[in-house]
Amino acid sequence: MINKYFFIGDDECQICKINKRLRGKKICNSCLKSLQIYNYYGKYEDLEEVLVACYYNDFIKAVVARYKFQKETYLYNIFSDLMYDCLIQNIDPSLFTYIIPIPCSKKTLRERGFNCAGLLAEALAAKLNIPYLNPLIKDHTLEQNKIELRERTKNLKGKIRLNKSFSEDLRGKRVLLVDDIITTGSTLKEAEKVLNENSASAIKILLASPSYHTITNSEV
């Protein structure tokens, strides 16, 4: 799946596309500085064992918007590099049996044409040589007009469940659960709960998240 995505020229920065002649590097120093590498591993709100590659700031917000909404899918390559670096600096990757993406609903898949987290998970799996598995499903199954009014908001959020044909594969396994950006962490928590209920444990990895430890100018 990954190979069908378009790559831009090797000698120019894959984020700004302005700075050239990078001699094999994928991003220029200016973009690298704007990314604010975090490489965090620890607790995020009430989620345990979360890895975060970058701080969430206006720069990454804009680059992720290009990836998600403007079909600049080649950016998965940069994002997965950042996540890979964060992972190997904090954890032994051989702990994981599978790499699993946070799913998106069929509706989102239709609108965007790809699962943002799925592409990152596939790229990480290839870089780490660990099998990619896509066992989670996000539903928007119920038609809104058939649901009680008080249930509608809940239904709109979508529910995550396990494709039962994968339950034996996951039993007793430790998996790496991949998402791009989180704000509240509720989707990750829901996905983790589903995996835990099926006797799998998950470490979560994110491209970026807002942090309690916001960088101040004096720390940069």
The footprint of Zn ion (CB under 5 A) covers 13, 15-16, 19, 28, 31
CA distances from 214 to 26, 38, 55, 89, 141 (A): 26, 10, 8, 21, 39
* Contact call for residues 178 and 144 (beta carbons, < 8 A): no
Question: Which among 106, 113, 109, 110 has a CA at the least distance from the CA of 5?
Answer: 113
Phi then psi for residue 44, to 5 deg, are -130, 115
| Residue with smaller CB distance to Zn ion, 28 or 181 | 28
| Residue with smaller CB distance to Zn ion, 1 or 37 | 37
* Contact call for residues 54 and 62 (beta carbons, < 8 A): no
Least separation in angstroms between CB 37 and Zn ion:
15
What is the torsional sign of CA 68, 111, 119, 77? negative
Question: Which among 57, 60, 165, 73 has a CA at the least distance from the CA of 116?
Answer: 73
Residue type, 56: Y
* Contact call for residues 124 and 159 (beta carbons, < 8 A): no
Least separation in angstroms between CB 180 and Zn ion:
20
| Residue with smaller CB distance to Zn ion, 8 or 109 | 8
| Residue with smaller CB distance to Zn ion, 59 or 114 | 59
| Residue with smaller CB distance to Zn ion, 15 or 188 | 15
Least separation in angstroms between CB 187 and Zn ion:
30
Least separation in angstroms between CB 19 and Zn ion:
5
Least separation in angstroms between CB 18 and Zn ion:
6
